[in-house]
Amino acid sequence: MNFSKKYHELDSNNRNSVSKTKLLLFFIFLIVVVFSCSKNIDYSPEYIKQTSGRYLFNQDEVIDVYYDNGKLFLKLRGAEKIKPVILDENIFFVVDMYKKLHFVQHPETKKRYLSIISADNKDLITYDYLKVEDSFRIPSMHLKNKNYDKALAGFLEIKKQDSTSVLISEREFNSLGYKLLKEKEYENAIEVFKMNVALYPKSDNVYDSLADAYLRHGDSLQAFINYKKALEYNNTNKRAKEFVEAYTKNIFKN
């Protein structure tokens, strides 16, 4: 009975392995076929100048379009050199996005865009990814450059438009703050936690983290203020309660 069960488990695992291998081979075959269809286009200097640059993918991500030896490439989400499949002079397919795109210009505003070509209506022109100045910075870029005021302004704007946006994660900001604390970058950690407080002013956790950062930096008064604030939103916060009681007792003692 056990032997039969084990045999069926092995047989099932083998079939799954074969299916995965077939799927992988098909995917590799598809990529080879798609890229073999890519055309060689001799882009004019004027076309390269008009289309090169930064396009707003969403409120906190950009697509950078550039040319290397006359070949079109994109940068997106950490990928530094995405090579699209060139279908025509102004049409290309980006495997990473699984989208067919082309460059367009709005007839009224004259602004340039990267436009998604609809599979259902190829004649439909949409204005999806606005071309912005090369100096344009998204909130996460400001955050990386430690321009906290500009970063916060950008993230607040995102929250204003969509309070549930995945681009503003309380947990991720908190993790970044603690990463900085671990690296003993106390002042930067405090700024990140302050930004989280501004984004989530009714969360006890953001005040708790900010208080922790102030305490490690040697500012017990600010630690007390923020632990006390944490207790306002969660009176069961044990760490905050213990610190506030000890700090208060110490004040009266002195």
The model carries a pTM of: 0.77
Tell the CATH topology of 169-253: 1.25.40
pLDDT of residue 104: 97
Judge whether 45-132 and 169-253 match in fold.
no
What percent of the chain clears pLDDT 90, i.e. is strictly above it? 78
pLDDT of residue 63: 97
- pLDDT higher at 156 or 18: 156
Is residue 180 over pLDDT 50? yes
Q: How confident is the model at residue 225 (pLDDT cuts 50, 70, 90)?
A: very high
Instruction: Give SS3 for 170.
Output: helix
pLDDT of residue 122: 84
Helices (H), 37-52: 45-51
Is residue 38 over pLDDT 80? no
Q: What's the rounded Cα separation, in Å, for the pair 165 and 142?
A: 18
Q: What's the rounded Cα separation, in Å, for the pair 125 and 237?
A: 54
Mean pLDDT of all residues in 48-72: 96
Q: How confident is the model at residue 249 (pLDDT cuts 50, 70, 90)?
A: confident
pLDDT of residue 251: 75
| Domain extents in the chain | 1-36, 45-132, 169-253
Mean pLDDT of all residues in 79-90: 93
CATH of domain 45-132: 2.40.128.50
pLDDT of residue 168: 95
In 3D space, the residue among 108, 106, 163 whose CA is nearest the CA of residue 129 turns out to be 106
Mean pLDDT of all residues in 24-53: 73
- Using DSSP bridges, classify how beta strands 91-94 and 99-105 pair: parallel, antiparallel or unpaired: antiparallel
Mean pLDDT of all residues in 48-65: 96
pLDDT of residue 91: 94
Mean pLDDT of all residues in 174-185: 98
Query: Please, what is the average pLDDT of the chain?
Result: 89
Q: What's the rounded Cα separation, in Å, for the pair 192 and 175?
A: 10
pLDDT of residue 11: 55
User: How many CB atoms sit inside 10 A of residue 205's CB?
Assistant: 16
pLDDT of residue 3: 47
pLDDT of residue 12: 54
